[in-house]
Amino acid sequence: MLGLHEKWRSTFLESWPDEVVALGLPMEQIVLSEQDRLAIGGRTEGFRVLFELDEVPDVTNDFRTAVDEKMAVFPSGVHARLGGCSFKKPGHFQKKPIFGCRELAPHILQENPRVAGLLASSLQNNFDVGLFVRPWHDIPQWAEFRLFLRARSFVGACQYFHKAVFPEIEADARPIAATLVNFADRFLAVSHLDDAIVDVFVAPDDEQGWKAVLLDINPLIWRSDPCLFRWENGGDFDRGFRFRGQDGRILSMAPLPFARAS
């Protein structure tokens, strides 16, 4: 299991100020007990070895009750994740809304080294871990973007699924870029972090044309995916917006509003 980088915890949902939370979808939190963390982490072999678990406990009844109560707040179903990471892994991610603890179980009670590493660190370093549920929202892949912030300044943005070509992005590149830069300003005005990688999705908005909604925050470190940027030599962040054009080349608006091909 990978160790937990010291900068990571400040990006966890548990650490978000209310003003930052307000930039994203509404959410409800269930704090995991020690037994619940052992029950979830214990599905991964490395975790069992680390904590010498001969038998993996079940999640508590209190957890089951709390999950059902919190999910009921969002009657159209939810997306569930831990404050420090999602439950996605290669070949497995949540494809539809979840309703209740019974439907949640297959997602969380399975081998997952990333989740197990977070839970192991929480038990070894004595910090709380929350399960967070948000209302389900269908987000097309083209609509997800990654923003890079350094020293409380916007230094770049690009499409999140960076190997694919999405005509939707190129068709509205300028208003999308403006929306991302505006969101970065709003985020930095209330953020508790000087440096961060911020994941958002964009959607049409009747009043402003487009809006950006906060999904996740990661630390600005090499272990985080730079997508269409590069970490070498301190990074090639140029305050631009990068996306793939129809021929697969990386297009860049840098600095806005000018565009060039690279």
Q: Which one-letter DSSP state was computed for residue 9? A: G
Q: How confident is the model at residue 260 (pLDDT cuts 50, 70, 90)?
A: very low
Domain boundary among 135, 167, 183: 135
Domain boundary among 85, 120, 135: 135
Neighbour-count burial for 154-175, b at 16+ CB within 10 Å, e otherwise: bbbbbbbbbeebbeebeebbee
pLDDT number for residue 259: 42
168-181: average pLDDT: 94
What gap in Å lies between CA 117 and CA 2, rounded to an integer?
6
Let me know whether 119 and 15 are in one domain: yes
Cβ 32 vs Cβ 131: under 8 Å? yes
1 located within any domain:
no
Let me know whether 59 and 25 are in one domain: yes
Helix (H) or strand (E) holding 21: helix 18-21
Q: How confident is the model at residue 90 (pLDDT cuts 50, 70, 90)?
A: confident
Let me know whether 159 and 54 are in one domain: no
pLDDT number for residue 254: 78
Contacts for 140 with CB less than 8 Å, ≥ 6 apart: 168
Let me know whether 131 and 154 are in one domain: no
Q: How many domains does the chain have?
A: 2
For 190-230, what is each residue's pLDDT tens digit?
Answer: 999 999 999 999 998 888 789 999 999 999 999 899 999 99
Its pTM stands at: 0.92
Domain boundary among 103, 135, 167: 135
116 located within any domain:
yes
Residue 93, domain extent: 9-135
Give the ranges where 109-235 is alpha helix by DSSP (H).
113-125, 167-171, 173-190
Let me know whether 170 and 52 are in one domain: no
pLDDT number for residue 257: 57
Q: How confident is the model at residue 103 (pLDDT cuts 50, 70, 90)?
A: very high
pLDDT number for residue 261: 40
Q: How far is CA 217 from CA 67, 91, 108, 124, 195, in A?
A: 24, 23, 21, 23, 10
What gap in Å lies between CA 133 and CA 87, rounded to an integer?
12
Cβ 194 vs Cβ 138: under 8 Å? no
